[in-house]
Structure 1
Amino acid sequence: MRVVVIEDEPLAEKKLVGFICRYFPDVTIVARFNKTSDVLAFFASEQQLDLIFSDIELLDGQVFNALSALDLPCPVIYTTSYDQHWVQAFQNQGIEYLLKPFSYKRFSQAMLGYQQLKASFVASVEAAPVNNGTGYKSRFLLRKAQVVDVLKAEDVVCLRAASGVISAYDRSGQHHMLTGNSISELEQQLDPKQFFRINRSDLINLDYISTFENYGKDTVAITTSVLSEPLITSKTRTAQFKKWLGG
């Protein structure tokens, strides 16, 4: 387990970290923050995390001011003394709302819910073997109850990561959850001549790009033949995208 703790009360942080270590003895506390500015700086680069524990009222404002601007790599469990923020919490990738002071029993219930949620996602999808001829992944196996569907990589318009879940959007506009891999892993497994990672969260298939246009400083908006909304490149990948698209 790799987790981040966001808490501005030292005693509350100590109690929470104690609960986390008690429930997950091999946990790694990757970072601890008490200000939204530090949260934004941390997530400016890609992070590999399993779970975020976050208070809501921090030293420099509400944590939503930071989290709403981010595409987080995992779910969030909110810990707070206020009961009026639960709607915002679940709108910002929250899966649990722990009202302070909470007991270890209540904490354990939240962890059990998280583990069951994670297990249900992982069990729903299996990654298919790579194509032995090219060395790149050619299909995904999608388990739905007792049925397994096959999704060809060539039929995938894009892959998008959000809240620790990867969705594959196919050429008919349907999306399928793929939680067995991270975007970074899929980037390595898919043919780089066919798929390009345009930002921290999105991989796009060359065959479904219709047009692109300037969107802001050093970014472009990409229109596909399937999705209704454009996909936006990050500033650091825009030049590489144009080079890749040009062959």
Structure 2
Amino acid sequence: MKVLIIEDEPLAAEKLAAYLLRHQPDVHIIAQLSSVAQVVDFFSNNTQAASLELIFSDVELTDGQVFTALEQLDLPCPVLFTTAYDQYWMQVFQYQAVDYLLKPFSYPRFAEAMLNFAQLKHKLQQASPVAETSYKKRFLLRKGQSLSLLPVADIGLIRAANGVLLATDKHNTVHILTESHLGEIEGQLDPSEFFRLNRSDIVHISTILQVEPYNKESVAVILSGEKAPIITSKTRTAAFRKWLNQ
């Protein structure tokens, strides 16, 4: 298993590495980073970033909170947070958190967190492919005390913003979805119709007006009804080009 450790305390990083090797002797620690700047640089320039299976991350680093880096990234895998502060436990789940370990934590608590990760990984691996007829057809919306339905066929864009999911329909009306994570619904949508461009945006093929070069590794996607183009994450650009041409 390939992992990344983000930790600015050398003793804490050493203890975590020891726990990892005790739990899984063949683990491969790709890197140990101690600052926000190092995290951004690693995911921008290290080709091994895309192959990571788990990230261990402290919150408070030498140059600020790790969230400053994570909010810029399209994370390739879950994150197991390790911190001495308990006030971040709700915030971390915006960043694919699989568990939240409060320092100092024991090996049994560490092993419990790794079991949670293993169960999540097994569930994803064993999930059978979704049949074409079983893709999600509608979303249930809550408006005050009443309920309404939003057909998936009417959705042009789904965006994660400020901890909520927003769906824009073909009339440019924005609806708040009851689901809380983009990953929760990504697999329920027909992949021939919808594509996740980055960590925040899923688009429907019918809303794409134009695709333009943005930089060496990303493109700008211009959508009908949206003033600003959406930029693909560098880890998804190649797959997006292939998806457009299928």
Number of residue pairs matched by the alignment = 195
Deviation per residue, 1:59-116 (Å, 9 max, x gap): 0011111011111000000001111111111112111000000000000000001100
Distance 1:123 1:65, change over 3 A: same
- Segments of 5+ residues of structure 1 without an aligned counterpart are 127-141, 152-173, 179-189, 191-195
Structure 1 residue 23 corresponds to structure 2 residue 23: yes
Name 1:161's counterpart in structure 2: none
Distance 2:89 2:105 in 1: 16
1:211 aligns with 2:221: no
Question: What is the distance in 1 between the residues matched to 2:214 and 2:3?
Answer: 33
Q: Provide the C-alpha distance between the structure 2 equivalents of 1:230 and 1:108, rounded to a whole number of angstroms.
A: 44
- Correspondence 1:129-208 to 2 at 5 A: 142=130, 177=187, 208=206
Match of 2:114, as an amino acid?
M
The answer to whether the aligner puts 1:12 opposite 2:12 as a matched pair is yes
Q: Partner residue of 1:95?
A: 98
- CA-CA distance at 1:197 after TM superposition: 10
Tell me, in whole angstroms, the C-alpha distance in 2 between the residues paired with 1:197 and 1:53.
25
1:66 is aligned with what amino acid?
A
Q: Identity over aligned residues, as a percent?
A: 48
Tell me the distance in 2 between the aligned counterparts of 1:34 and 1:106.
23
Give the Cα separation in 1 of the matches to 2:234 and 2:109: 43
Task: Assess, with a 3 A threshold, how the Cα gap between structure 1 residues 123 and 197 changes in structure 2: closer, same or farther.
Answer: closer
The separation in 1 between residues aligned to 2:51 and 2:105, in whole angstroms, is 28
CA distance in 2, matches of 1:12, 1:86: 19
Q: Is residue 113 from structure 1 mapped to residue 116 from structure 2 by the alignment?
A: yes
The aligned residue for residue 182 of structure 1 is none
Give the SS at the match of 2:90: helix
Report if the CA contact (8 A) 1:222-1:232 is conserved.
no
The CA RMSD over aligned residues, in Å, is: 4.7
Residues of 1 paired with 2:27 and 2:124: CA distance?
21
User: What is the TM-score normalised by the length of structure 2?
Assistant: 0.61
Give the TM-score taking structure 1 as reference length: 0.61
